[in-house]
Amino acid sequence: MDRLGEILIAKGAVSADGLRSALEACRRNGGRLGTWLVRLGFVNDQTLLEALSEQTGCPTASALDLATAPAEVRAAIPPSLARRHMVVAFGRQGRHLDVAMSNPSDVMLIDEIASITRSVVRPHVATEAALSAALAIPVAATEGAPLPPARTAVREWRQFWRMESALPEIFRTMEPRHLEGPAVVAASFPDLAALGVQPLRTAGGGTEELAEALANVGHRDRAAALVISYLHTVAPRAALFSFQQNRVVGWAAAGPAVDEDDLHDLVLSLDQPSLFLNLTRGAEFHVGPLGGGNGHAALLAALGPPPPREAAVVPVRVRGKVAAFVWVDALDGPAGDLPMTSVREVARLLGLTLEVLVLRQKIRAGTRLTEGPGAD
């Protein structure tokens, strides 16, 4: 994929000096290159939108398209998800839902939106300014408007992560031996309370039983519960964070004083220095002190007291790209005493599980597209 700056220079829309100025503004203040090019007056919104379309290969969604979208269409995506990932639903045709995004190549986010809305998502690229303006428009409750599928007493955060029925055979094909899933803890937010089945018997052992259990999961929430159940047997505090659109988002945790509301609301932009930054740039893991960084204050508040003296953090990769982070710490003890071999293996297994869930969602989406009379 060509870089945005190269496309704009090739089109004669911006000079090399202008591009350098915008890149320096990004480095100093954070944010997207295109946004700074517009703010500094080097290009206009329409020129930027055309370049983004050329870069991504996706159709465009203008600010007018988003501002005039029907309320019942915009309401298809939960507001918290829309704000967190800067996405706006603006059109519907049959089972196809047109969604404006700043990063329409984010396959995992597209799959999550498809799962929530039960639609075939057609991604469009939009500028950050257009998305921000559209998200600032309140969506009034419309009688009879379609709402995303939900269950009573289930947090909207869980709706974001929910996958539908499991296909364990897909996971099993990745291993030469047949796997029988053991009895495991089925946990639910906000309190990770056991739902009446036996916990994983992994204390002091390997990750074989966890692998068998992950082979049978059908959505990310269950995978997170299994991983946290295992990690909490080897560390007094454990957490998972997802990574989407250059943001670290609280996912699941277990510990003596974890504030789950704060954890689920936690969104750390990598514009703020934190230990996650090097992990997104290729580092295999972090073991040691947290170091400096403005992003750590909200993180420590979500994890609860006592603040960790050190931590071990391993990125979870899906097809080579960071999708999440596994965190463990020994409260006020040294992180070097934690079993890093097991923690890294857990991260690998979770990455495989997430990849399988995405593949399964793609299979389901492909099936919907090829269905008979009702297909568009």
Check: CB of residue 237 under 8 Å from CB of residue 253. yes
Q: What does pTM read for this prediction?
A: 0.48
Do you find a cis peptide bond into 306, omega within 30 degrees of 0?
Answer: yes
Check: CB of residue 324 under 8 Å from CB of residue 354. yes
Distances in Å between the Cα of 112 and the Cα atoms of 73, 101, 116, 161, 196 are 17, 13, 6, 7, 28
CATH of domain 168-361: 3.30.450.40
Among 158, 253, 166, smallest CA distance to 214 is for 166
Check: CB of residue 278 under 8 Å from CB of residue 286. yes
Sequence-ordered list of residues with C-beta below 8 angstroms from that of 24, at least 6 positions apart, any chain: none
CATH of domain 63-149: 3.30.300.160
**What pLDDT is attached to residue 293?**
62
Written as six digits, the tokens of 131 are 């998305």
**What pLDDT is attached to residue 2?**
61
Over the chain (376 residues), the average pLDDT of each successive run of 10 is 81 87 81 84 88 90 90 92 92 93 89 92 92 81 40 36 38 39 41 43 64 87 91 92 88 86 82 80 86 74 88 92 94 87 93 89 64 48
d(CA 176, CA 151): 37
Check: CB of residue 76 under 8 Å from CB of residue 92. yes
Check: CB of residue 71 under 8 Å from CB of residue 146. no
343-374 tens-digit pLDDT:
999 999 999 999 998 888 778 766 555 555 54
- With residues binned 3-state (H G I as helix, E B as strand, rest as coil), the percentages for the chain, rounded to 5, are 45, 15, 40
Check: CB of residue 70 under 8 Å from CB of residue 146. no
Distances in Å between the Cα of 209 and the Cα atoms of 80, 184, 214, 373 are 35, 9, 9, 44
pLDDT mean across residues, the chain = 78
